Structure 1
Amino acid sequence: MIISTGGGEIKLAANLKWLFTEVSLEQRFDAAAKAGFIGVELPSPYELPAARVRELLDAAGVQQVLINTPPGEPGSPTATGAAAVPGAREEFREGVLRALEYATVLEAPSVHVMAGVRPAGTDAALSFATYVDNIAWAAERARSSGVRIVLEAINKRDQPDYGLESMEAAAAVASAVDPTTVGVLFDCYHAQVDRGNLIERFERLVPQIGHVQIADNPGRGEPGTGEIAYERVLTRIAESSYEGWVGCEYGPVDGTVPGLSWTERLHP
């Protein structure tokens, strides 16, 4: 879906974990296409064979723009990612390789490598050092594939002790490891909960931003249901040098398709 703002056009991608949950996962690709989307995010495509996801993308005529690395088992130390979890190196590496295999088949340009939560009692410095080492390893594997690694910070209200402190920390890691292969996933919802100042922070980080996601706060609903001035935020994104996708990673307040009416309010 391409929408117009006062600053230009924005390419919106539907996150199929959050949107079109009224139908089964396999039906969501077609539902997104019928609603006008040409790009989709699928955080965890691993419940389906990569070849089957490829078939669904082709049948719907949509592009896969982002996937995540595989999460660990529910309730395990790596349930939200393994990159910042000391002692989980083999699980982390296996997950990265699997994600890159899927990204290649799906032609997804970006893989979000999830940091995960620092285990109770683990030294924060050790967890972060583990994270940096793991991201460097992932970057080496991604470099030859043409896939870009993106790093996302989760706000501490929703996920205490998450292994990546902020969008700025993500940018620092990307710069230290490989700024060509590693970038920032700028999630407006998490950034708003973590200090706000979205436009200023976006403009400062934009050279390193590889992907953007949106949801309003509080409630994590669609734009227009909370406090974020998305007309201004998306206009400034459109005016910037960022040319990538903006993923709709929000929980529709009253149904996916009715909730898309927010896009009409952005037209100049």
Structure 2
Amino acid sequence: MSFTAARFDVNLSLLFTELPLLERPAAAAAAGFDAVELWWPWPGEPDPGKAALDGLRTALETAGTRLVGLNFYAGLLPGPDRGALSLPGAESERFRANIEVAADFAASVGCTALNALYGNRVDGVDPAEQDALALDNLVRAAAAADRAGAVLLIEALNAVESPRYPLTDAEAAVAAVRRVNEASGLGNARLLLDLYHLAVGGADLAAVIDRHADCAGHVQIADLPGRGAPGTGALPLSDLLDRLDRAGYEGYVGLEHKPAPAGSAASFSWLR
């Protein structure tokens, strides 16, 4: 596999986590990347305050890295949570409190993709009630993303690692995208095409790309098994990325994999 760093961004919530948050953009830049993405980096805090947001903005600008993807508040990540927007009660309220905070920050750094994780099913709550809450919150998020000049991403996770998450294949995520676009009238909801999660779920990745590349607003990769860097497992990622190219996808590809045993900086030897 031979690629240049220019087409990839580094997920700083999985890579360079041996460093404090504000040192990670510079570490990514030193490894040759000028684009990064993040899960919401303050678990439990939908609004971390001006000083924290200004500090991250300054770290990105000083390093010369562009934030190309950011999650809305999603609970505890990494950890047991898989989003907050469909959870009745306090967590969905935290999601709503975060919508404008995240969108305003995205606008301030030129981030054009905001990811909204759907959330797990909850015991004792009708799934239809959760879906109605999710749609309402996703429409709110789509409106905020639109004001920020960003797309709203909706992601399928895999049922092995996230058995209570309802969107576990590309078709379910694309159906959610369509519901949001119809309800919002904005048309800015898109699929986050995570090839690792789809592969864990047993999907035919080539067929998924052929069917849904035109709906993809962002792509993420990791190898399987192990969620390591490309080349550490068995996925034909080079062929799959070539297929995405032929399908017309022109966006970044997020490296959302675990670091190498020797550390994050040693995780990119497959790049040329």
Whether TM-score is above 0.5 comes out as: yes
Distance 1:75 1:64 in 2: 20
SS in 2 for 1:213: strand
**What is the CA-CA distance between 1:35 and the residue it aligns to?**
0.9
Q: In the TM superposition, what are the counterparts of 1:1-268 in structure 2 within 5 Å? A: 3=3, 11-46=7-42, 49-72=52-75, 79-87=81-89, 88-178=91-181, 180-254=187-261, 255-264=263-272
**What is the CA-CA distance between 1:52 and the residue it aligns to?**
1.3
- The code of the aligned residue for 1:257 comes to A
Point out where structure 2 has 5 or more consecutive residues left out of the alignment: 43-47
Q: Are 1:69 and 1:111, in contact at CA under 8 Å, matched by a contact in 2?
A: yes
> Segments of 4+ in structure 1 off by > 6 A?
74-77
Distance 1:73 1:228 in 2: 29
Q: CA 1:73 to 1:156, structure 2 compared with 1: closer, same or farther past 3 Å?
A: closer
Q: Are 1:50 and 1:105, in contact at CA under 8 Å, matched by a contact in 2?
A: no
Distance 1:67 1:205 in 2: 22
**What is the CA-CA distance between 1:257 and the residue it aligns to?**
2.6
- The code of the aligned residue for 2:163 comes to P
Q: CA 1:259 to 1:109, structure 2 compared with 1: closer, same or farther past 3 Å?
A: same
Q: CA 1:98 to 1:83, structure 2 compared with 1: closer, same or farther past 3 Å?
A: same
Q: CA 1:147 to 1:221, structure 2 compared with 1: closer, same or farther past 3 Å?
A: same
- What's the CA shift string for 1:132-182, capped at 9, x where partnerless? 222122212322221211011111110111142322222112122227311
Distance 2:59 2:52 in 1: 11
Output the aligned Cα RMSD: 2.4
Distance 2:161 2:149 in 1: 32
- The code of the aligned residue for 1:80 comes to R
Distance 1:191 1:56 in 2: 33
Distance 2:145 2:238 in 1: 35
Q: CA 1:192 to 1:74, structure 2 compared with 1: closer, same or farther past 3 Å?
A: closer
- What's the CA shift string for 1:240-260, capped at 9, x where partnerless? 311111110100232223221
Give TM-score, length-normalised by structure 1: 0.87
Point out where structure 1 has 5 or more consecutive residues left out of the alignment: none
Q: Are 2:6 and 2:34, in contact at CA under 8 Å, matched by a contact in 1?
A: no
Aligned residues: 258
**What is the CA-CA distance between 1:33 and the residue it aligns to?**
0.6
- The code of the aligned residue for 2:252 comes to W
